[in-house]
């Protein structure tokens, strides 16, 4: 620790900021901000598991830090309603009973998610609007309008006793937003002129030069697709990309096609967005998925879930011809209007190949301009840095390479300013301390991933190791019967295998393995044979050694001893 840091620590209290997720991955976005006895958390996101996480349904951040401060945890602040920012909220609520702040659309999306978990938190959901300010202890949170791929997204300006910190959330600079609600440049500039202690800025698209572009940029490509498609038009996108849904609804009306929302996520989002006025659908345009067969294929557009190749999504079932209401023909066109989230490439490729087998035409952003990112590119990120001119700059969201590049861009951009900008490349679990002079990494707290298997249960490392073990080397279950009184083995041990490649017949290694068990039991004393825990351990050790030498494999061995 430097002398300068020691001086800072003497000037208690300090503002403490701890990233709990989103730094090192695309998803799990979560950050805690604390001043004395008040802690607020910004977002609580989830992410979908990689293929090697066998059987895992969802990944959420490790909440240990917040659970240790449960009495001080006063509020959850949501920047917007995408899964990577709200997907873990139902799990946070097990140890949190305070208010949750967000835009009306964000809270409506969250409410349906909470209902799936059987959680009624309606009285704790507090709707806020751009330029609103809420006081939480000695912290005041100000909500700033930013543009993204869905309406009503916020950046946060948190006014603290040592200065203002800004968290951008996810953003891009859309000059022609579909709803006419523009990025709040004026307030960012005002805050920058008044002085900003720290900026935590989205780094997702820092590797893309120039500007990202408007959501309306996809209209021209989709007009061509609508005009040239003879059969059904099937478009998959993120269900929460409400702007994209509105564009497709508008085009459907223009080209006299009915719109069917297919998949639970699409149906729920369209209903919520329509109820709140964020999605406008002309009367008679929308039909149920069960009504698709009642209309000529050339007069229907289906908006479906499954852009990331999720196995049970609507598009995956359509691709293998297993959907009750949607079947593809060679006249149909399937459009992927989304980006590939890193890690999902194989799943998406699998779905694309199945669609190709159905004979349908496939269009993605590599063929036509059918997708625009919701994240700002390099010039937009530089523009925000120039407006805010923070004392400290902390890149967030994305892998290390994105955040380190964002840091380099920030360093080049601010090197000629009158006052030096401290640039901090933080990691999940880093404890950042701030006073009026600047900030630094002071400590480390537990942070990481919690694997969810099923609706509630967390998945431990041992369970995941066992699943990998089973996948790689298979399972052997030796079943034997031991006489309770004599300790003698009754009959020949039976070996049940799953996932283990073994030959059958007289020379089968399973026969030798059975003989090995008998020899092991014969050399054991009566006391050992009747101590089933000890015998199971000895059998497991000897069989693992046997299969390693004989087959070069290390199967999971689970002996079953029946007492007779």
Domain with 317 in it: what CATH number?
3.40.50.10710
The pLDDT of residue 548 is 83
User: Active-site residues: which are they?
Assistant: 202, 375
Distance (Å, whole) CA 90 – CA 248: 31
- On whether both 443 and 297 belong to a single domain, the answer is no
Q: Among all chains, which residue has been given the structure tokens 């001119």?
A: 389
Taking alpha carbons only, the member of 67, 53, 57, 55 closest to residue 20 is 67
- On whether both 100 and 173 belong to a single domain, the answer is yes
In a domain, 172, yes or no: yes
Q: What is the pLDDT of residues 241-259, one digit of tens each?
A: 999 999 999 999 999 999 9
Q: Which residues contact 471 (CB under 8 A, 6 or more apart)?
A: 54, 499
Taking alpha carbons only, the member of 63, 77, 73 closest to residue 125 is 77
- On whether both 464 and 425 belong to a single domain, the answer is no
The pLDDT of residue 526 is 72
pLDDT of 482 above 70: yes
- On whether both 450 and 516 belong to a single domain, the answer is no
- On whether both 279 and 359 belong to a single domain, the answer is yes
- On whether both 497 and 535 belong to a single domain, the answer is yes
- On whether both 53 and 142 belong to a single domain, the answer is yes
Buried/exposed 422-437: b ≥16 CB within 10 Å, e otherwise:
bbbbbebbbbbbbbeb
Select the highest-mean-pLDDT range: 44-53, 360-369, 503-512: 360-369
Distance (Å, whole) CA 172 – CA 94: 33
User: Which residue(s) pair with 102 in the sheet?
Assistant: 127
What the block records as the tokens of 311 is 């196995």
Q: How many domains does the chain have?
A: 3
At 379, is the secondary structure helix, strand, or coil? helix
Q: What is the pLDDT of residues 7-32, one digit of tens each?
A: 444 557 899 999 999 999 889 999 99
In a domain, 3, yes or no: no
- The sign one gets for the Cα dihedral 495, 496, 497, 502 is positive
Q: Among all chains, which residue has been given the structure tokens 């929302």?
A: 261
Select the highest-mean-pLDDT range: 56-60, 422-426, 558-562: 422-426
The pLDDT of residue 6 is 42
- On whether both 340 and 380 belong to a single domain, the answer is no
Distance (Å, whole) CA 505 – CA 502: 10
Burial (0-12, 13-18, 19+ Cβ within 10 Å), 322 = exposed
Among the candidates 458, 478, 493, a domain finishes at 458
- The sign one gets for the Cα dihedral 466, 472, 478, 479 is positive
pLDDT of 454 above 70: no
What the block records as the tokens of 128 is 């806020």
- On whether both 479 and 417 belong to a single domain, the answer is no
How many of the other CB atoms lie within 10 Å of CB of 230? 12
Among the candidates 363, 392, 424, a domain finishes at 363
Q: Nearest 5 degrees, angle CA 415-CA 380-CA 133?
A: 95
**What DSSP character marks residue 170?**
S
- On whether both 191 and 237 belong to a single domain, the answer is no
- On whether both 200 and 316 belong to a single domain, the answer is no
In a domain, 32, yes or no: yes
pTM assigned to the model = 0.82
297: domain range? 215-363
- On whether both 246 and 267 belong to a single domain, the answer is yes
In a domain, 369, yes or no: no
């Amino acid at each position: 620790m430097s002398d300068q840091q020691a001086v800072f620590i003497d000037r208690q209290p300090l503002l403490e900021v701890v990233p709990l997720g989103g730094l090192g991955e695309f998803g799990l976005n979560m950050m805690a901000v604390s001043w004395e006895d008040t802690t607020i958390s910004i977002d609580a996101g989830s992410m979908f598991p990689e293929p090697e996480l066998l059987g895992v349904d969802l990944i959420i951040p490790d909440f240990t830090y917040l659970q240790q401060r449960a009495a001080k945890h006063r509020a959850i602040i949501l920047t917007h309603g995408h899964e990577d920012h709200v997907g873990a909220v139902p799990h946070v609520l097990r140890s949190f009973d305070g208010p949750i702040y967000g835009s009306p659309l964000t809270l409506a999306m969250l409410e349906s998610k909470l209902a799936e978990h059987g959680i009624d938190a309606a009285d704790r959901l507090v709707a806020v609007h751009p330029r609103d300010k809420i006081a939480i202890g000695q912290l005041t949170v100000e909500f700033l309008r930013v543009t993204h791929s869905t309406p009503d997204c916020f950046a946060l300006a948190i006014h603290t006793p040592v200065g203002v910190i800004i968290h951008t959330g996810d953003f891009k600079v859309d000059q022609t937003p579909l709803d006419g609600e523009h990025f709040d440049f004026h307030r960012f500039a005002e805050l920058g002129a008044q002085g900003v202690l720290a900026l935590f800025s989205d780094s997702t698209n820092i590797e893309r030069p120039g500007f990202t572009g408007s959501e309306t940029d996809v209209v021209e490509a989709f007009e061509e697709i609508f005009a040239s498609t003879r059969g059904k038009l099937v478009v998959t996108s993120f269900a929460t990309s409400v702007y994209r849904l509105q564009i497709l609804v508008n085009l459907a009306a223009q080209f006299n096609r009915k719109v069917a929302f297919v998949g639970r996520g699409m149906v729920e989002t369209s209903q919520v967005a329509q109820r709140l006025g964020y999605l406008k659908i002309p009367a008679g345009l929308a039909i149920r998925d069960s009504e698709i067969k009642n209309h000529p294929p050339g007069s229907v557009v289906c908006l479906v879930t499954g852009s990331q190749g999720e196995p049970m999504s609507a598009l995956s079932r359509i691709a293998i011809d297993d959907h009750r209401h949607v079947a593809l023909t060679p006249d149909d066109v399937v459009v992927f209007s989304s980006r590939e989230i890193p890690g999902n490439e194989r799943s998406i490729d699998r779905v694309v190949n199945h669609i190709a087998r159905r004979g349908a035409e496939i269009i993605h952003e590599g063929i036509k301009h059918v997708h625009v990112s919701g994240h700002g590119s390099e010039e937009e990120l530089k523009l925000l840095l120039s407006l805010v001119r923070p004392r400290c700059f902390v890149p967030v969201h994305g892998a290390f390479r994105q955040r380190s590049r964002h840091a380099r861009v920030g360093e080049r951009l601010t090197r000629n300013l009158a006052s030096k900008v401290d640039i901090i490349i933080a990691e999940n679990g880093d404890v950042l301390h701030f006073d009026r002079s600047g900030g630094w990494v002071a400590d480390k707290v537990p942070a990481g991933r919690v694997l969810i298997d099923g609706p509630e249960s967390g998945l431990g490392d041992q369970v995941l190791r066992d699943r990998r073990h089973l996948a790689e080397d298979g399972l052997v279950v030796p079943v034997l019967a031991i006489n309770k009184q004599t300790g003698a083995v009754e009959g020949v041990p039976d070996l049940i295998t799953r996932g283990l490649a073994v030959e059958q017949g007289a020379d089968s290694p399973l026969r030798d393995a059975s003989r090995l068990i008998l020899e092991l039991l014969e050399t054991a004393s009566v006391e050992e044979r009747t101590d089933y825990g000890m015998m199971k351990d000895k059998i497991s050790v000897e069989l693992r050694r046997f299969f390693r030498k004989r087959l070069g494999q290390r199967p999971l061995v689970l002996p079953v001893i029946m007492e007779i």
